[in-house]
Amino acid sequence: MKFADIAGNSAVKHKLAATVDGGRVSHAWLFEGADGNGALALAVAYGQYLCCPNKANGDSCGTCPSCVKYQKLIHPDLHFVYPVVSSPKFSKPVSDDYIKEWRTFLAETNYHDIDEWLNRLSSDNKQAGIFAQESQNIIKKLNYKSFEAEYKVMVIWMPEKMNPSASNKLLKMIEEPPAKTVFILVSNHAESVLKTIQSRTQLVKIPKIDAQSMFEALKATYNFADDKTKEIVRLADGNFLRAKEVADSQADTVSEYFNLFADMMRHSYTMNVSELLDWADSVTKLGRERQKIFIDYALRLIRENFILTILPEKRESLVYLTDKEAAFAEKFHKFIHQKNINHITNEFNLAHKHIERNGYEKLIFLDLALKTAQLLAVKPQ
């Protein structure tokens, strides 16, 4: 994967290339970026650049044997660690158990999120993680000599999902790394990574994709008119996955999370307990990881509706809603206001925490809906 294949972030690419060109390669990096901005792809592109013998003009050549193997994700000195789930086949799973699915997932797009990865794993109701047994694999791989390249590269996606045992063993490897070994940790939330690991890595913040780069990437993917593409760019707010979601919704793809959010708010407002029980059953079937993603989605919509309430004149510059979300918000936003926004947000965050801690999902979501119903009834004045 070349830097040129990833939209935007030219300053970050230049900085990363300069560390190689100037002989200032850190043995441990922490890339922090939200889903949809290409942080994971940038980690692979950096590894490819590091190992390319014909690099030029701030990018790898893309044609040498090393680059070809990197682009196929089969280079013997490129290693991956990522969240996995247990199954009847793999009771103590490690990343290598899912390497075929991982390569397909990684190769299909330059923009990745945990929701799509879990769909590939058919995770059902299980939480994904990087477990203790993974650390033995890491130690084993990195203690080998490099097969072909000067550097061994270990890309760890979502290190915040490492359990304490795996984190502590990784820390020892980072403190005393084998020669010519580079760790690249790619995180959505760097503050959730073990503090001692954070302190031993060089942080690189991966910002949103700029509007012009997003526009060009969308034009290469979708056959929309310029005006429609510009509107999608505005709604995406620098997140390519969000842009794809909006673009697909323009092609009549239904958003499951939107439907769940709209149903929750309608039934909560009318205090229809029977419907809320059925709704809680539906959310329970998502599985824990997708339940957490739904909560994150709901929090975003709540934020957008709050902005609509307090700053209606700023809707063009501050509010990011699809046509379907905006149509719902026209009537709904007035129920989200300064008197209840903090309480509603706290309840959703609390539900997220309880799901993380393996609470009883149906009870968590029913409780969330009932409390939301009470808060929606609060008057703005």
Residue 315: domain span: 254-376
* Residue 263 and residue 162 share a domain: no
* Residue 42 and residue 182 share a domain: yes
- Please give the pLDDT value at position 252: 41
* Residue 283 and residue 169 share a domain: no
Tell me if 130 is assigned to some domain: yes
Tell me if 381 is assigned to some domain: no
Structure tokens belonging to residue 331: 């009537």
- Please give the pLDDT value at position 148: 82
Instruction: With a cut of 80, say whether residue 296 has pLDDT above it.
Output: yes
Tell me if 228 is assigned to some domain: no
Q: Supply the CATH number for residue 181's domain.
A: 3.40.50.300
Report DSSP letters for 108-176, one per residue.
H-S---HHHHHHHHT-TTPPPBB-HHHHHHHHHHHTSPPSSSS-EEEEEE-GGGB-HHHHHHHHHHHHS
The kind and range of the H/E element at 69 are helix 65-71
* Residue 269 and residue 198 share a domain: no
- Please give the pLDDT value at position 36: 85
* Residue 55 and residue 185 share a domain: yes
* Residue 284 and residue 158 share a domain: no
Instruction: With a cut of 80, say whether residue 348 has pLDDT above it.
Output: yes
* Residue 153 and residue 14 share a domain: yes
Instruction: With a cut of 60, say whether residue 308 has pLDDT above it.
Output: yes
Cα→Cα distances 260→119, 184, 303, Å: 18, 36, 17
At residue 184 the predicted structure's pLDDT band, cuts being 50, 70 and 90, is: very high
More confident residue, 227 or 9: 9
CA atoms lying within 13 Å on the CB side of residue 231: 12
Are 291 and 264 spatial neighbours (Cβ–Cβ below 8 Å)?
no
Average of per-residue pLDDT across 163-187: 86
Tell me if 241 is assigned to some domain: no
Tell me if 328 is assigned to some domain: yes
Last residue of some domain: 205, 236, 268? 205
pLDDT tens-digit map of 249-265 = 654 434 688 899 999 99
* Residue 269 and residue 197 share a domain: no
* Residue 283 and residue 196 share a domain: no
d(CA 372, CA 110): 37
Are 151 and 77 spatial neighbours (Cβ–Cβ below 8 Å)?
yes
Give the amino acid at 153: V
- Please give the pLDDT value at position 124: 60
- Please give the pLDDT value at position 376: 93
d(CA 189, CA 180): 27
pLDDT tens-digit map of 112-129 = 888 788 878 865 667 788
* Residue 157 and residue 285 share a domain: no
- Tell me the residue ranges of DSSP E strands in the chain: 28-32, 78-81, 152-157, 181-187, 202-205
Last residue of some domain: 190, 205, 220? 205
Tell me if 243 is assigned to some domain: no
Q: Give percent of the chain with pLDDT exceeding 70.
A: 97
Last residue of some domain: 180, 205, 230? 205
- Please give the pLDDT value at position 32: 92
* Residue 133 and residue 55 share a domain: yes
pLDDT tens-digit map of 152-173 = 999 999 998 888 888 888 888 8
Q: What are the φ and ψ backbone dihedral angles of 33, each rounded to 5 degrees? A: -165, 150
Tell me if 230 is assigned to some domain: no
Nearest of 103, 81, 100, 78 to residue 89 by alpha carbon? 100
Q: Residue 93: helix, strand or coil by DSSP?
A: coil
* Residue 307 and residue 177 share a domain: no
Structural domain count, the chain: 2
Average pLDDT taken over every residue of the chain: 87
Tell me if 224 is assigned to some domain: no
Are 47 and 77 spatial neighbours (Cβ–Cβ below 8 Å)?
no
